[in-house]
Amino acid sequence: MHAGHETMFRRRFFVSTLLSIPVLLYSETLQGWLGFSVPAFPGSEWLTPVFAVIVFAYGGVPFLRMAVPELRDRAPGMMTLISMAITVAFVYSLASVVVPTQSAFFWELVTLIDIMLLGHWIEMRSVRRASSALDELAKLMPDTAERITESGETEEVPASDLEEGDLVLVRPGASVPADGVVEEGESDVNESMITGESTAVSKEPGDEVIGGTVNGDGSLRVRISATGEETTLAGIMRLVEEAQGSESKTQALADRAAGWLFYVALGAAVVTAIAWTIATGFDSAVIERVVTVLVIACPHALGLAIPLVVAINTSLAARNGMLVRDRIAMEQARALDTVVFDKTGTLTEGEQGVVDIATVDGVSEDEALALAATVEGDSEHMIARAIREAADERGLERGTATDFEALKGKGVRATVDGAALRAAGLSRGDEPRDDERIHVGGPNLLSELEGDVPSELERFADRAGENAQTVVYLIREEEPVAAFALADVVREESYRVVDALHELGLEVAMLTGDSEDVARAVAADLGIETVFAEVLPEDKDEKITELREQGKSVAMVGDGVNDAPALTRADIGIAIGSGTDVAVQSADIILVKNNPMDVVRLVKLSRASYRKMKQNLVWAAGYNVFALPLAAGILAPIGILLSPAVGALLMSLSTVIVAINAQFLRRTDLSVPSLPGVAAPREPRPAD
C-alpha cells in the first residue's frame, strides 16, 4: 500500500510542480516581490487560473477522495483537513476571477498542493522504508533447492515443492531452503538475519538449521523438518506483520489530535471572521484571513510524528532479534519498574553438569562415575544425562544394567552385573559377585532407604549445598559409596544483564521452583534483590500479581511454556526463544535469540523511541501553535500577517524535520554494555 501511494504521490508531485511553473511566472504578486516580468500575449491573463485548475484537478482531487471515508465515518482526520485547506483556497481563487479581491490565491493554491504532495511522498517513502522488514525477511528464502533423490543424485526443484522428510544439499554460500536437521557435513551458518547474532554458528550432524540462513564454507545435507507456513521464518514474518498492523496507543492519540484540530481550525476561522469583521468590517481581507487560517491548519507533521517512529521501532526490533506482537507493550517497556526472570533456562543454561565427585575409601571417581552411568543408562532425566555425559567425557565404559526402574521424585535403580561391580571396586576381595540392585538418587531416596551417610560424603554434601549445587548418591546395599555434585551453570551474560538493568534504574527479581537455598545462592551471585523460590508453575502468576498490586510495572521473562500464566499476567510478557506456540501466544514480545541481554536492548529501544515521539509531537504541535495565531492576524497591529503560502511552507518544513528526526532513531546504540558501570563479562559459574 505504502509503495503504491509513494509512486502516486511522486508522479503527481512532479507533474503538478511542472504545471505550476506558468502559474508562478504569471503571478503579479510574485512579479512584484521578485522584480521580474514575463511577456504578455492575448489570453495570458487566463493562463494562471487555467493551469491552477488543472493542478487542483490532478494533484488535489486525490486528497478529496481519501477524505471521503473520514467524513463518511464522521471521524475527520488528516485527509479532511488537507481537503478543507485546498478546497477553500481553490474556491476563493476562482471567486477572485469574478469578484475583485485584494489578491488571488492561485499561486498559493498550486504551491500548497505541490507542498502537500511532496510531504506525502516523503511520508510514504519513509514509512515504506521503515516497514521493509517484512519484505526483507521474505527475500531470505531461496526460490529453488537441490533435493537429493533416492539414487543419490540431486535435482533442482522449487523450494515451495519441498516436503517434510526430503533430503536437500546446501552448498557453500547457499541459503537453507527450509527448516531442517543436519544429517551429514559440517559448516558455519550465518543466522544473523534471523537471530541478530553476528557470529556464524557451527553446525554438525544432529544440529537444527533455519530456513533462510546462509551456509558457510562447508557442504551440508539437511533433512527437511518444516516447510511453508510452518517454518521459523514464516512464523517470524507473521509476527512482524502482526506488529506492523497493530495500532499503538500513542498513534491513536495522534489520530484523535488530528480530528480535534479539524474542529479547532473551524473554530479559529469563525473567531477570526468575527474579530476582523468587528475591527475592520466585512470585506475581502476578512475572507483572506479566514482562508489563511483554514489553509495552514493542516497537521501533516502531526500525522507523521508517531506512525513513522513506531514503524522504525518495529523494524529495528525485528532486525535485533526482538519480535513485537503488541506495540503498546513496546511503548510500556520504557516505564518498567521491575523485571522478573525465570531462573532455569533463562538466567542459567538449563542443563545440569557434574562439577564434583566424592567417594568412600577404595572407590575411585572414575569407577563410581562409570557405575552410576551404567545405572542411569535408560533414564532421560537431566541428571541422568549429565552423569552419562560426564562418563563419556572421561572415556569410561559402562557395564550392563537390567530391570531399570525410575523412582518418581527420588531417583532410579537397576540391576548391575557382577563384572561391573568388580570394575567399580565394589567386590569384597576376590569373591565373585552376583548381579545386584544399585540405586542412584538424592536425599529423598536416602530417607526412604534409611541408610547412613559416611562422614566424608556428608561433608561433601554440605559444601555442595553452600554452593547451591544438587547432590545425588550412588547407593549399594542401602549404603552410599559415592556422591556427585551437579550444577546448572549461570549464563555468562546474566551478570551483565542484571548490572545493566540496575544501571537503567530497574529492580530485578527472580522466580523459580528451586529450593530457597539454591535460589538465594544464585540471586546473591547475580546481585538480584527479590527472590521467589519453590514456586509451582501454576502459582507463578500470583507472584506477578503481588508485584503489580504494589503499584509496580512488571515485565516477566521466561521460556513461554511453564511460564505462560505469568507471561500473560505481567504488564509485559517477554518470551525467551520463539520455538513454541505457547511462547508466541502468551508473550507480548518474543526474543528470537535465547539471550536475556535482549531485555536490556528492549528497554533502551523503548526509551529512545518514546523520546523521538515526544520530540516529533513538539515539532508538529509547535507548528500549529505558532502558525494559527499568526494566520488569524494576532500580530496585524504591528504589520505582520502570515500568507497561506508561507504557512504551507512552514508546514512542509515541520514535516521534513519530523521525518528526518524519526530516521535518527536508527542510530540508537543497542550494544550492551554501553552504560557506565556495567560489569564486564565473567566466567560461567555453577548455579544449582
Q: Which residues are catalytic?
A: 342
Instruction: Determine the angle formed by the axes of helices 106-130 and 47-55, rounding to 10 degrees.
Output: 20
> What is the grid cell recorded at 290?
479566514
Coil vs helix vs strand at 85: helix
472 vs 118: CA distance, rounded Å: 73
User: Can you give the three-state secondary structure of 198-221, one letter per residue?
Assistant: CCCEEECCCCEECCCCEECCCCEE
148 vs 150: CA distance, rounded Å: 7
**Percent helix, strand, coil in the chain (nearest 5)?**
55, 15, 30
Coil vs helix vs strand at 494: helix
Return the half-sphere exposure (C-beta side, CA atoms, 13 A cut-off) of residue 576.
25
Among residues 293, 286, 298, which one has the least CA distance to residue 631? 293
Are 176 and 194 in contact by the 8 Å Cβ rule? The answer is no
**For residue 623, which amino acid is it?**
Y
To which residue does cell 471567486 refer? 95
Q: Which residues contact 161 (CB under 8 A, 6 or more apart)?
A: none
Does residue 673 have a cis bond before it (omega within 30 degrees)? yes
Could you give phi then psi for residue 133, rounded to 5 degrees?
-60, -40
β partners of residue 267: none
Are 187 and 218 in contact by the 8 Å Cβ rule? The answer is yes
Are 522 and 513 in contact by the 8 Å Cβ rule? The answer is no
**For residue 556, which amino acid is it?**
M
